[in-house]
């Protein structure tokens, strides 16, 4: 075996070791999440339930309450992280993600319209001292999805007129996101207190909102998106050398950008529509994984997905433990943790990978 072959095998072994470590971290976070809660189930009881035994109360808690929440966190984290990874690649901008491109703002506007003008809820009890409405999951999700996907359609249309220039996409996303934020504020201004409270509650983010049907939908979209991204892994690697080099290697750069953005938006907009606004997962997870595997998309795509699921499940664990039995809003919690972490990566790791 030559030295070059030996170095290549070492290179591949390190990358695979990182993926196995990330998979182990995700599995560990799932086990911890199963044990965290006001019921205080011991690990032995959890293992008994997972193998078909245990008490009926424990089975109800695990399979009807905790498992759907964990599955939602994993699916949403994977969606946002994969979408952020691909957006950063095709736009050649390390700040690209669903939240920075206006997709989250578009979804919030759609949810606000559904709640205020289409009666997507009914009057219920009190939340944090204010009367709120229980949001109709179907109407609100549909409008949130339309709002999120509309953002990227507008960005792609504007960018197409400019030759699908990545800088134009980023600027268009910022502008459209600001427009949707202003539109949401106007909707709230003309709404009553109950509907305003419901809009704010939706934007907090809630992993307990989706059921198994929504989880299956998101899982299927994640699987399809993952297969498409992995199929184009070499094209994304070629893009790291610049669009001109990629074109010289036979890559359809314009098509890769447009289709990649469309698929990434589809999975991220669906996730946001199901759970509400959750920021920074798609921005932070790919950058953390890049520090260990570099810009090799054979490993960066699955690594980002694993990291996204782990981060969101870990954030949910913390949000449930800090003021137990109360649950802190997961969207606000990820923003609070994500912004300092992002600044830490910039300050201590130097120039962001492009």
pLDDT digits (tens, 9 = 90+) for 118-149: 876 544 544 444 444 555 567 888 888 899 88
Q: How far apart are CA 84 and CA 78, in angstroms?
A: 10
Helix 193-204 and helix 330-349, axial crossing angle in degrees, nearest 10: 40
Phi first, then psi: give them for residue 247, nearest 5 degrees.
Answer: -65, -40
Tens digit of pLDDT for each residue in 39-59?
777 777 887 888 777 778 888
The pLDDT confidence band at residue 99, using thresholds 50, 70 and 90, is confident
Q: What is the DSSP string of 309-332?
A: HHHHHHHHHHHHHTTTTS---HHH
- pLDDT for 41 equals 76
Alpha helices in the chain (DSSP H): 3-35, 43-50, 56-60, 67-90, 103-117, 137-161, 166-189, 193-204, 212-231, 233-239, 243-248, 253-275, 281-293, 297-321, 330-349
Q: How far apart are CA 69 and CA 79, in angstroms?
A: 15
Cis peptide before 198 (omega within 30 of 0): no
Q: What is the mean pLDDT of residues 105-117?
A: 90
- pLDDT for 305 equals 96
The pLDDT confidence band at residue 302, using thresholds 50, 70 and 90, is very high
Angle at CA 230, nearest 5°, toward 225 and 231? 100
Q: Closest Cα partner for 179 from 109, 114, 112, 282?
A: 109
Q: What is the mean pLDDT of residues 68-79?
A: 95
Neighbouring-strand partners of residue 276:
none
- pLDDT for 165 equals 64
The pLDDT confidence band at residue 185, using thresholds 50, 70 and 90, is very high
Question: Which range has the worst mean pLDDT, 19-23, 160-164, 166-170, 297-301?
Answer: 160-164
Pair 161, 258: CB distance under 8 Å: no
- pLDDT for 330 equals 87
Q: How far apart are CA 194 and CA 185, in angstroms?
A: 15
Percentage with pLDDT > 90 across the chain: 33
Query: What is the chain's mean pLDDT, rounded?
Result: 84
Q: How far apart are CA 24 and CA 58, in angstroms?
A: 25
- pLDDT for 151 equals 87
Q: What is the mean pLDDT of residues 268-295?
A: 89
**105 CA to centre of own chain:** 14
Angle at CA 313, nearest 5°, toward 173 and 56? 140
The pLDDT confidence band at residue 348, using thresholds 50, 70 and 90, is low
- pLDDT for 18 equals 94
Dmax (CA) for the chain in angstroms is 74
Q: How far apart are CA 335 and CA 342, in angstroms?
A: 10
Collapsing DSSP states into helix, strand and coil, what is residue 304? helix
Residue 181 burial class via C-beta count within 10 angstroms: exposed 0-12, middle 13-18, buried 19 and up: middle
CATH classification (class only), 16-349? mainly alpha
Tens digit of pLDDT for each residue in 233-277?
999 999 988 888 888 888 898 889 889 988 998 899 889 988 988
Collapsing DSSP states into helix, strand and coil, what is residue 2? coil
How many CB atoms are located within 10 Å of the residue 14 CB?
A: 12
- pLDDT for 257 equals 85
Buried b (16+ CB within 10 A) or exposed e, 28-37: ebbeebbbbb
Tens digit of pLDDT for each residue in 186-223?
999 988 888 888 888 888 888 988 889 889 999 999 99
Percentage with pLDDT > 70 across the chain: 88
């Amino acid at each position: 075996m030559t030295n070059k072959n030996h170095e290549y095998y070492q290179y591949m072994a390190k990358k695979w070791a990182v993926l196995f470590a990330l998979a182990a971290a995700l599995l560990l976070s799932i086990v911890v999440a199963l044990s965290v809660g006001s019921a205080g189930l011991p690990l032995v009881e959890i293992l008994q339930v997972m193998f078909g035994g245990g008490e009926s109360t424990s089975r109800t808690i695990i399979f009807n309450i905790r498992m759907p929440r964990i599955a939602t966190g994993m699916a949403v984290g994977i969606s946002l992280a994969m979408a952020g990874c691909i957006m950063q690649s095709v736009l050649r901008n390390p700040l690209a993600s669903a939240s920075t491109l206006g997709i989250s703002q578009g979804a919030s506007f759609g949810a606000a319209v559904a709640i205020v003008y289409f009666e997507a809820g009914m009057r219920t009890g009190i939340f944090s001292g204010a009367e709120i409405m229980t949001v109709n999951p179907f109407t609100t999700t549909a409008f949130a999805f339309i709002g999120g996907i509309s953002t990227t359609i507008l960005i792609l249309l504007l960018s197409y007129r400019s030759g699908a220039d990545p800088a134009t996409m980023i600027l268009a996303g910022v502008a459209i996101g600001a427009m949707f934020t202003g539109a949401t504020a106007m909707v709230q201004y003309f709404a009553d207190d109950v509907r305003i409270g419901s809009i704010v509650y939706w934007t907090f983010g809630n992993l307990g909102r989706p059921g198994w049907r929504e989880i299956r939908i998101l899982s299927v979209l994640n699987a399809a998106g993952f297969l498409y991204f992995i199929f184009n892994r070499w094209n994304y690697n070629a893009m790291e050398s610049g669009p001109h080099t990629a074109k010289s290697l036979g890559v359809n750069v314009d098509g890769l950008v447009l289709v990649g953005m469309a698929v990434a938006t589809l999975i991220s907009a669906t996730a946001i529509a199901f759970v509400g606004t959750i920021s920074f997962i798609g921005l932070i997870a790919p950058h953390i994984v890049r520090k260990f595997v570099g810009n090799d998309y054979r490993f960066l795509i699955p690594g980002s997905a694993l990291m996204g699921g782990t981060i969101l499940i870990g954030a949910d664990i913390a949000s449930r433990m800090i003021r137990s039995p109360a649950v802190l809003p997961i969207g606000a919690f990820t923003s609070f943790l994500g912004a300092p972490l992002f600044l830490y990566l910039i300050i201590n790791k130097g120039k962001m990978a492009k």
